[in-house]
């Protein structure tokens, strides 16, 4: 508790090695709050600065924290092909409004091994003309992989964009059996 009788925000983080490179996982008492691709050097530093600014607390590297233990276990199991769904408490405080609505629908309504079009996802949240806004929500997703924005594709069959890079998106879709494994 601080001098004003309020409980301070606690943010812990760790980096997990995966088949798509290192992921930074950050959690609060509410749940997993952020997943960051390519979590080395400058990328990790920038992500931690953004978290500190947005959450009002300095993130602490604590890979053994109980706040992270289950998230780390489930992410490792997912990349090992042993887990299809994430069952984690999520802290949605980094996203709000339409973006949060879209990401929650994605998290609950697009299962492992399937994909959805940007326009289809817009229709699911009652905004049939908002395919571009859905794309913006995917780009703003603070919890990629766990909230599976890699499962959102173009209606013409194109793979679409991805904050972690198209190679990472292809790898995730192959891991889920949507795309064939790359030959090399």
The answer to whether residue 149 is catalytic is: yes
Long-range contacts of 63-69 (CB under 8 A, 24+ apart): 63/14, 63/15, 65/12, 65/14, 65/27, 67/10, 67/12, 67/27, 67/28, 67/29, 68/12, 68/13, 68/14, 68/25, 68/27
Cβ distance 110 to 116 under 8 Å?
yes
Selecting among 48, 55, 149, 175, the annotated active-site residue is: 149
Cα separation, 145 vs 72, in Å, equals 12
Catalogue the active-site residues: 149
């Amino acid at each position: 508790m601080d001098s004003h009788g309020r409980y301070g925000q606690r943010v812990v983080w760790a980096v997990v090695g995966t088949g798509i490179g290192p992921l930074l996982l950050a959690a609060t008492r509410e749940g997993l709050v952020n997943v960051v691709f390519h979590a080395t050097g400058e990328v990790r530093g920038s992500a931690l600065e953004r978290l500190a600014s947005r959450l009002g607390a300095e993130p602490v590297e604590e890979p053994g924290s109980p706040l992270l233990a289950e998230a780390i276990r489930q992410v490792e199991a997912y990349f090992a092909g042993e887990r299809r769904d994430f069952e984690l408490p999520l802290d949605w405080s980094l996203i709000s409004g339409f973006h949060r609505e879209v990401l929650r629908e994605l998290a609950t309504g697009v299962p492992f091994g399937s994909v959805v079009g940007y326009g289809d996802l817009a229709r699911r949240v009652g905004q049939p003309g908002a395919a571009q806004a859905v794309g913006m929500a995917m780009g703003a997703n603070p919890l990629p992989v766990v909230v599976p924005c890699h499962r959102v594709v173009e209606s013409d069959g194109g793979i679409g964009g991805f904050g972690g890079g198209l190679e990472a998106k292809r790898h995730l879709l192959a891991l889920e059996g949507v795309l064939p494994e790359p030959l090399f």
